[in-house]
Structure 1
Amino acid sequence: MKQTDESIGLRKLVLYRDAVLTEAGEAPARPVWRASVAAVVRNPWLGSGPATDLVPEQARIAPVLARLLTDRLIASLGGVDAIESFGKAAIVGTAGEIEHAGALIHTPYFGNLVREFLRGESIICFADTRAEAGESLIVPLWHKTQAATRSHYQTVSVRVSDGPRADEIVVVAAASTGPRPHPRIGDRRTDPAVTTETLEVVSS
């Protein structure tokens, strides 16, 4: 892996995993594991201006990150078939542009490959920001094949204690093996039609 580390400026990988065992005093129908994997990489566009073409570095770095992160998600959550929801995120250090955060995740070189590796079909929920080292970011998740399924709308909190440094970017992929504990708020495909005309409380 050393060649990969050097080629994309990878400094470290951070994996978190958790499971909610009880909620409201009762165990969920089944244990659900959530995980996130964060890669801390050197910002390849540091010091460049807003006219810089981001695509060459996207095409070089993002596919490597997509494979590194999803391989570790799959291993930590019991296999690709166990994964039901996914999300992505990036944090650029203070010396970079906010566009640099998006450049490594809002691209087919990352998103399309994450979707393929995790056998998903949905658009991948995302978050991106600029921050100092150690700041947390909330990563949204939803179902990887059924985006309208509200039971899988959830979030994971990601934090790298020493990243991103000013000249770095943290890139994150996250996933879950199931829904929130005790989900029961319905589904967008079966919701009643609701408008201001159908609700007296807001139409009067």
Structure 2
Amino acid sequence: MWKVRKFVTNVEDVLHDRGPDLAKPLRIGTAAVVVQNPYAGKYVEDLMPGMEALNALGRDVAQRLLKALEAKPAEIEAYGKGAIVGADGELEHGAMWHPSGGWGMRAILGDTKAIVPAGKMVGPVGVRLMMPLGHVNAAYVRSHFHTVGVSIDDAPRADEIVYALGMATGGRPHARLGGLAAKDIKGEDGLR
């Protein structure tokens, strides 16, 4: 059902953000898949079969991202997901990625507790989506509120969707604005 045109990954190593060099570089990455939208140009009432068919693709994209980051699951501290729907689609087609992308990451990262933040949009070829990131076990960890951009020069075409995941090995460099610290997480309810 979901015909893949290509996969795209991007990884960056952040050494500092105007402050002193970090003891260990922050690794932030995205992995995206460009798929043909089987619902483009028409309204379909029941999208559930399409959403369920994305599950294997969600795990595949998550695995590609973890491999590109050269990280172990326990080293990932922040995550997020997003979708860019081509102009012949609708926002709901991007929303199909919520369970597939989120659970895909959870399947490879283990027992994460926090909701996976998401961004989605309908947009033209090459548009940049800023995907929100949050801590994997506690949504209230302010230092891990971050974004990571994803864009692909030739996607999404009008009848395509870009589904993307983001992961990071830590929070913002030099975070110093208080709130719940990652070291103080209880990890019981996904919030604190």
User: TM class by shorter-chain length?
Assistant: 0.7 to 0.9
Partner of 2:184: none
Distance 1:186 1:29 in 2: 20
Instruction: Give the superposed CA RMSD.
Output: 1.5
Partner of 1:125: 117
Partner of 2:83: 90
Distance 1:96 1:67 in 2: 23
> Helix, strand or coil for the counterpart of 1:132?
coil
**Is the contact made by 1:15 and 1:38 (CA closer than 8 Å) also made in structure 2?**
yes
Deviations 1:122-151 (A, max 9, x none): 100010000111010101101001221111
Aligned residues: 179
> Helix, strand or coil for the counterpart of 1:8?
coil
Asked if residue 116 in structure 1 is aligned to residue 107 in structure 2, the reply is yes
Distance 1:158 1:109 in 2: 18
**Is the contact made by 1:38 and 1:172 (CA closer than 8 Å) also made in structure 2?**
yes
Deviations 1:51-82 (A, max 9, x none): 5200011111x112211111111112222121
Partner of 2:155: 163
> Helix, strand or coil for the counterpart of 1:68?
helix
Identity percentage over the alignment?
A: 37
**Is the contact made by 1:29 and 1:182 (CA closer than 8 Å) also made in structure 2?**
no
> Helix, strand or coil for the counterpart of 1:129?
strand
Structure 1 unaligned spans of 5+: 1-6, 190-204
Asked if residue 178 in structure 1 is aligned to residue 170 in structure 2, the reply is yes
Distance 1:148 1:176 in 2: 16
**Is the contact made by 1:83 and 1:178 (CA closer than 8 Å) also made in structure 2?**
yes
Amino acid at match of 2:72: G
TM-score w.r.t. the length of structure 2 is 0.87
Structure 1 position 17, deviation (Å): 0.7
Partner of 2:12: 18
TM-score w.r.t. the length of structure 1 is 0.82
Structure 1 position 47, deviation (Å): 2.9
**Is the contact made by 2:133 and 2:145 (CA closer than 8 Å) also made in structure 1?**
yes
Query: Computing the radius of gyration over CA atoms, which structure comes out larger, 1 or 2?
Result: 1
Structure 1 position 99, deviation (Å): 1.2
Partner of 1:135: 127
